[in-house]
A and B are shown apart, each in its own frame.
Chain A
Amino acid sequence: MSTLYEEIRELMAVYPEPRSATLPALRLAQEKHGWLSPEALREAAEGLGETPAYCMAVASFYDMFHLAPVGRHLVEVCTNVSCALVGAQQVLEAFERELGVRPGETTADGEVTLRTVECLGGCGWATIVALDHRYRTHVQPADVGAIVEELRADG
């Protein structure tokens, strides 16, 4: 198995200018560490030949990078206009009840982070919920119990 360092070096070779590998490198570092901890940023920076500060500056611009720990599973509910018009807020509240956390928080056992996100690009199939980045379409509050059970069973 190749190390994060090696994988980042490979990514850099794909681009005419190696700095273009910054986003993919941060993605890999986050996958390895679960979030962009100081250590993850250091490792990404080492691979890229940039400073950790540079990596932090870039990472903080993008919503998908986590600069604080998150749960092992991520539940993201779109609450933009099209989803909200057909009841996204009720779906969100069902997740809040089921998980016992508010949006932006992680369950006490560190398993699941719940958050709201902007339009996921599935508006006509609302409400869209991304479960560990896989889209679920047409989600209704009544579906939430089963979804959470499924997530938790997934270990």
Chain B
Amino acid sequence: MAEQRLVVLQGADERDLTKLAEYRAIGGYDALAKARALTPQAVIDELLASNLRGRGGAFFATGRKWSFIPKPDQNPNPHYLVVNADESEPGSFKDNEILSRVPHRFIEGCLITAHAVESKHVFVYIRGEYLGPFEAVRDALEEIREDDQLLGGVTIVVHRGAGAYICGEETALLESLEGKRGQPRSKPPFPAISGLYASPTVVNNVETLATVPPIVAMGGAAYAKLGVESSTGTRVVSLSGNLVRGGNYEVAHGITLRELIYDLGGGVPDGRELKAVIPGGSSTVILTAEEIDVPYDYDALAEVGTAMGSAGVIAIDDRCCMVQLGIRVSEFYEHESCGKCTPCREGTRWMTAILRKLEAGEASDSELDLLLDVCDRINGKCLCPLGETAAMAVASYVLKFRDEFLAHLDGGCPFGSQSPLDGVVAPVNQHTQSPVAEVPA
């Protein structure tokens, strides 16, 4: 029976770690003192030894990212640490729990990172909807506000977003933090060279930063022994969909998807069968129920053509229609496309439109090909990954459940209202409240 391995969430089941005294009681902020006794480069070396890779989705090596930041004598502009707490990928809710339950460990990670990249300014960009997690971080910061020694001259500003998935993309996030519409920038330059206010900037995910204190505490080499070689350490995995026990589970990388779903998630309820699994948030390629013996690590998932993404595992039972799933996923990306690139802005609309025709039984054979063609025309032709991950995800439903798509060609949906996704009202479909002007006759 597979079990959890708590590192990031360690101690939170026994104590209320939102309280400074409780966090101190388990050695909280000791790693910060340890790190500050080291040179910034020595802290970066620990991170390199841990082989920690970013938990925001791109899985980039954290120590390497930090090492790209120029030293103060190479670039006199202030250096910034910007935290990505925008978590909006459907299926992911791990940062929500981390911020809510271990805010001090997260803050400690920010302070250690600020030391490593020689920054005095931390901005936490938290999605506007996260009121509870915002309050947890705000209250934790309030507890240390007057502790100058702990803060070490670093200011931490919590900046609330206002509802836009694309602001999770790091350059869109920076635009938004600068007070603009959240549209991605073209890279290069990368944020390490020209990020917030055109200054050297590290952007890291919440979970990445909350993993830093335990790494410094145990040493990078010890951390690297957890998990598997390509994916060291633990991961807070979000389980949702048709499961007995949805929730976040922190596990060592390398546990199989089957273990996650059956041992931790309790399997599929109501006597239904598992049909498919989205392994890393809705922008990742789907797996069939036969493919879930894959270990949950970066390389193993890449070998089966998908990705760990933001570690949001969505289990789907046999009542669900895959065309309806495609509609709902496509509508999401259509709604969240920032509109900057034509293939993404127009392509996601086309995807939804063709899928809707299919669902209604009004599509012809050629339109199924047209759907794949539209996906193909988005792929590799966009500024940021939003468009193409959406296209690849939806195309994977067609490729892996082709018979089901074909069955829609004669006579429409075989599932109809048996499927829980039938007729779901997405935000793109709801009545808007835009004022309507009266046009004089």
Residues of A within 8 A of B (CB): 14-17, 19-24, 26-27, 57-58, 61-70, 79-82, 84-89, 92, 102-106, 113, 115-126, 130, 133-135
Contact A121 B241, beta carbon cutoff 8 Å: no
B420 touches which of A17, A87, A103 (Cβ 8 Å): A87
Complex contact A15–B430 (CB within 8 A): no
B161 x A82 contact (CB < 8 A):
no
Q: A21-B179, A115-B427 in contact; A65/B162 too (CB < 8 A)?
A: yes
B227 at the binding interface (Cβ < 8 Å): no
Selected interface stretch from B50-58, B312-320, B363-371, B382-390: B312-320
A residues less than 8 Å from B426 (CB atoms) = 79-80, 116, 118
CB distance from A43 to the nearest CB of B (A): 16
A125 to B131, CA, bound (A): 16
What residues on A are CB-neighbors of B165 within 8 Å?
A: 118
Query: When each residue 208-251 of chain B gets 1 if its CB lies under 8 Å from chain A and 0 otherwise, what string results?
Result: 00000000000000000000000000000011111100111000
Q: Are B163 and A124 in contact (CB under 8 A)?
A: no
B421 near A85 with CB under 8 A, answer: yes
CB of B430 within 8 A of CB of A121, answer no
Which of A15, A21, A66 has the largest count of B CB atoms less than 10 A from its CB? A15
Within B62-104, which residues are at the interface with A (CB < 8 Å)? 78, 87-93, 95-96
Across the interface, name the chain A residue whose C-beta is closest to B129: A120
Q: How far is the CB of A125 from chain B (nearest CB, A)?
A: 7
In the complex, what distance in Å separates the CA atom of A65 from the CA atom of B160? 13
Task: Say yes or no: A23 contacts B90, CB within 8 Å.
Answer: no
Could you tell me the distance in whole angstroms from the C-beta of B1 to the nearest C-beta in chain A?
Answer: 20
B182 proximal to A (CB < 8 A)? yes
Residue B152 at the chain A interface, CB threshold 8 Å = no
Q: List 28 A-B contacts (CB under 8 A).
A: A27-B128, A27-B160, A63-B163, A63-B164, A64-B128, A68-B435, A80-B426, A82-B91, A82-B241, A82-B314, A85-B240, A85-B317, A85-B421, A89-B423, A89-B425, A92-B425, A102-B431, A103-B425, A104-B433, A116-B430, A118-B88, A118-B336, A123-B93, A123-B241, A123-B314, A124-B240, A126-B240, A134-B131
Distance (Å) between the CB of B15 and the closest chain A CB?
22
Who on chain B is nearest to A79 by CB?
A: B424
Assess whether A63 is in contact with B179, with CB atoms less than 8 Å apart.
no
Q: Are B431 and A103 in contact (CB under 8 A)?
A: yes
9-residue interface stretch from B295-303, B327-335, B404-412: B327-335
Q: B282, A81: Cβ atoms under 8 Å? A: yes
A-B contact count (CB 8 A): 192
Closest B residue to A76 using CB positions: B129
Q: Which residues of A contact B422 (CB under 8 A)?
A: 89
B284, CB-defined interface residue at 8 Å: no
Residues of chain B within 8 A of A92, CB atoms compared: 425
**Chain B residues near A22 (CB, 8 Å)?**
179-180
Question: B interface, by DSSP: helix, strand, loop or mixed?
Answer: loop
B238, A124: Cβ atoms under 8 Å? yes
Q: Is the CB of A89 within 8 A of B121?
A: no
With A16-B78, A23-B161 known, 11 other A-B pairs at CB within 8 A are A14-B157, A19-B179, A19-B180, A20-B178, A63-B163, A63-B164, A64-B129, A79-B424, A84-B420, A118-B90, A123-B91
Within 8 A of A (CB), among B226-279: 238-243, 246-248, 278
| Cβ–Cβ contact A17 & B247, under 8 A | no
B159 interface hit (Cβ, 8 Å): yes
Instruction: Given A68-B435, A85-B316, A121-B127, answer yes or no on A61-B179 (Cβ-Cβ < 8 Å).
Output: no
Closest A residue by C-beta to B183? A61
Chain A residue with the shortest CB-CB distance to B315: A85
Is A64 within 8 A of B162, CB to CB? yes
**Residues of chain A within 8 A of B96, CB atoms compared:** 121-122
Q: Is the CB of B92 within 8 A of A121?
A: yes
B181 at the interface (CB under 8 A from A): yes
A105 lies within 8 A of B163 (CB) = no
Interface mask (B97-134 → A, CB under 8 Å = 1, otherwise 0) = 00000000000000000000000010000011111100
Contact check, B246 vs A124: say whether CB atoms are below 8 A apart: yes
- Contacts of B425 on A, CB cut-off 8 Å? 79, 89, 92, 103, 116
Q: Across the interface, do B157 and A23 meet the contact criterion of CB distance under 8 Å? A: no
B186 interface residue (CB < 8 Å to A): no
Query: Which B residues are CB-close (under 8 A) to A57?
Result: 181
Give A26's nearest chain B residue, CB to CB: B162
Q: Do the beta carbons of A103 and B433 come within 8 Å of each other?
A: no
Is the CB–CB distance between B431 and A58 below 8 Å? no
CB closest residue in chain B, given A135: B132
Contact B89–A118 (Cβ < 8 Å): no
Chain A residues with CB under 8 Å of B92's CB are: 121, 123
By CB atoms of chain B within 10 A, which of A15, A23, A57, A92 has the most? Answer: A23
Task: Check B246 against A24 for contact (C-beta < 8 Å).
Answer: no
Shortest C-beta distance, B416 to chain A (Å), equals 13
CB contacts under 8 Å to A, within B152-185, are 157, 159-165, 176-182
In the assembled complex, B149 has its CB within 8 A of some CB on chain A = no
Decide: B434 and A24 in contact? CB cutoff 8 A: no
